[in-house]
Amino acid sequence: MAQVLEFKLPDLGEGLTEAEIVRWLVDVGDVVAIDQPVVEVETAKAMVEVPCPYGGVVTARFGEEGTELPVGAPLLTVAVGGAADGNATPAPEAAGAARTADAKDAESSEYSGNVLVGYGTAGPAARRRRVRHATHAVAPAPAAASPAAPAAPVAPVAPAGPVPVISPLVRKLARDGGLDLRDVRGSGPQGLILRADVETALAVREQAPKAAAPVLAPVPATAGGSAASAAVGERVPLRGVRGAVADKLSRSRTEIPDATCWVDADATELMAARAAMNAAGGPKISVLALLARICTHALARFPELNSTVDTAAREIVRLPAVHLGFAAQTERGLVVPVVRDAGGRTAESLTAEFARLTESARQGTLTPADLTGGTFTLNNYGVFGVDGSTPIINHPEAAMLGVGRIVPKPWVHGGELAVRQVVQLSLTFDHRVCDGGTAGGFLRYVADCVENPAVLLRTL
C-alpha cells in the first residue's frame, strides 16, 4: 500500500524565510523521481528549482503560481511505495493523511538524503506556523445556478494544472497589472501565454466601458487651485529582489556612518593599455576587469577598507581575502554578484568571471552563494550614461568604489590643453573603519593607476 508523504518548502539558506512560486514543473498524478525538480521558486536572491526528496506519484500541490509561501509550508504530497506506479489514483483522504506523515517514515528507496538546507533526515523539522493553501487535489466548489437556466447547470471552472506560462517576465507583467493569467488565452504553441497576450489583455481592460464604475461626486474647485483628483496611487509590493534591496539599503543608511570623496582621472592611458592587450590576441579584457585589478591592489595597500564592523563586539574585522562584488542591473532588480578571491585573479580570469556572473544575473539563475560573502563592491554606473554618484555601501561591507562614464573632455596634459578620456571616481566609505586620510589615499592610488597603469608594475 502506498504511503503519502508531505514535502515542505525547505530552508533555501542565507537566512531566506519565504519564496514565491514561479512555475510548477509537475502536475497532480505525475510520477516524480528522487531529487527531481518539482517547482521553480523566486527568493529575494535568485530563482531556484526545488528538488523533491521522495519518489512516487504527486497527489496534491499546495499554492498557485504567484503565491508566496513561508519556509516550512507544504509544497506537495507524494504517494510512495506499492501503488506509486504512475497509474494509481490518490484517495480523497491522501492529502489529509499526508499532513500527519513525518519525513522519518520515508526510510526506503523512495527517499533521498541529498536535499536542501534545513530539510534532512535527521530529527523532526523545526516547529513552524503552517499556512494552508488551496491544492489541485481538491475540486473547487460549484458556482451558483443561473436564474434563467431550467436545469441549474454548474458554471464552468478554470481547468486544473499550471498556467501555460514559461517566462517569469510575462508573469511579473501580469502580476504588476493585476491580471489573472487564467483569464488570458495564449497565442503561443499549445496555448502558451506570451508577453503580447498579456499586453493585449491589459490594453483591452483599460479600454473597457466604465459605465459600471461607481460615480463619484465632483469636487468643486477652490479659489486657490484645481479640483482634487479622485485617482488612487499605484501600490507596488516590496518583496522579492525589490524588497531585499530595500531592506539592505535601509539597513546600510541606518547603521553605517558613510562619507563620500571623489576625483576626476585621465583614463586615456588605461584605455590605450587595454587596446594594446586586446590587440595582442587571446581573450578580450574588459575595462571592469582592469578596474577590479586596480581595486584589489589598492585594497592591499589600504586594508582598512576591506573590512567589516562587529557592532556587538565593537571591533573592526579586517578580512584576509578580497571577494569583489559588482553591481549588476537586471529586469528583476539590482543584484550584486561576488567574484571570489579577486585579488589572486588575472585580468583575463576576472573578465571571464564577470561575464559568467552577468549572464547568470540576466537569466535569473544566480545562486545565493553567488550573491553573498562580498568584502568590497565595484559599481560601474557609467554604463547608465552618468558621470558621478554617491553610492550606498553594500552592508555589511566598509566601502564601495563608483565609476562614471569615460568620455572625451578638455584636460590639461603636459602643460597644454588637450582632449583626453576622463572618468570620475567616487569612494563611499564607512567612517568608523578609517578617516578621510585613508579614504583619500586609496582613491588617489586608484586614480594614479588609471592615469598611469605602469604604477601597478611596482606591486607585481
- The residue ranges of every structural domain in the chain are 3-105, 168-204, 258-459
In this predicted structure, the answer to whether residue 66 has a pLDDT above a threshold of 70 is yes
pLDDT band at 85 (very low <50, low <70, confident <90, very high): very low
pLDDT for 241 equals 73
431 among known catalytic residues:
yes
Of the two residues 391 and 114, the one the predictor is more confident about is: 391
Question: What number of other Cβ atoms are within 10 A of residue 347's Cβ?
Answer: 17
In this predicted structure, the answer to whether residue 434 has a pLDDT above a threshold of 90 is yes
Cα angle, residue 69 at apex, residues 107 and 254 outer, rounded to 5°: 120
In this predicted structure, the answer to whether residue 225 has a pLDDT above a threshold of 80 is no
Summarised one tens digit per residue, pLDDT across range 343-366 is: 999 999 999 999 999 999 888 888
Integer CA distances (angstroms), 77 to 45, 107, 115, 159, 425, in order: 26, 16, 16, 20, 55
Average pLDDT across the chain, whole number:
78
pLDDT band at 169 (very low <50, low <70, confident <90, very high): low
pLDDT for 140 equals 43
Percent of the chain with pLDDT over 90: 41
pLDDT band at 268 (very low <50, low <70, confident <90, very high): very high
* Least confident segment among 41-55, 104-118, 394-408: 104-118
Instruction: Specify the fold of 258-459.
Output: Chloramphenicol Acetyltransferase (3.30.559)
Question: What number of other Cβ atoms are within 10 A of residue 75's Cβ?
Answer: 24
pLDDT for 423 equals 97
In this predicted structure, the answer to whether residue 152 has a pLDDT above a threshold of 50 is no
pLDDT for 309 equals 96
- pTM of the full structure: 0.56
For residues 396-416, average pLDDT: 95
pLDDT band at 14 (very low <50, low <70, confident <90, very high): low
Task: Identify the CATH number of the domain defined by range 168-204.
Answer: 4.10.320.10
C-alpha cell at 237: 509590493
For residues 368-374, average pLDDT: 89
Instruction: Specify the fold of 3-105.
Output: OB fold (Dihydrolipoamide Acetyltransferase, E2P) (2.40.50)
pLDDT for 248 equals 84
Among 71-80, 162-171, 176-185, top mean pLDDT goes to 71-80
pLDDT for 126 equals 38
Integer CA distances (angstroms), 447 to 48, 215, 228, 235, 422, in order: 40, 63, 53, 43, 11
C-alpha cell at 397: 561591507
- Longest Cα–Cα distance of the chain, Å, equals 97
The Cα–Cα gap between 131 and 446 comes to 53
Integer CA distances (angstroms), 95 to 9, 103, 140, 342, in order: 16, 15, 15, 50
Among 64-68, 142-146, 225-229, 344-348, top mean pLDDT goes to 344-348
pLDDT band at 273 (very low <50, low <70, confident <90, very high): very high
For residues 13-32, average pLDDT: 82
Q: Judge whether 168-204 and 258-459 match in fold.
A: no
In this predicted structure, the answer to whether residue 376 has a pLDDT above a threshold of 60 is yes
C-alpha cell at 223: 479659489
pLDDT for 49 equals 81
Of the two residues 108 and 43, the one the predictor is more confident about is: 43
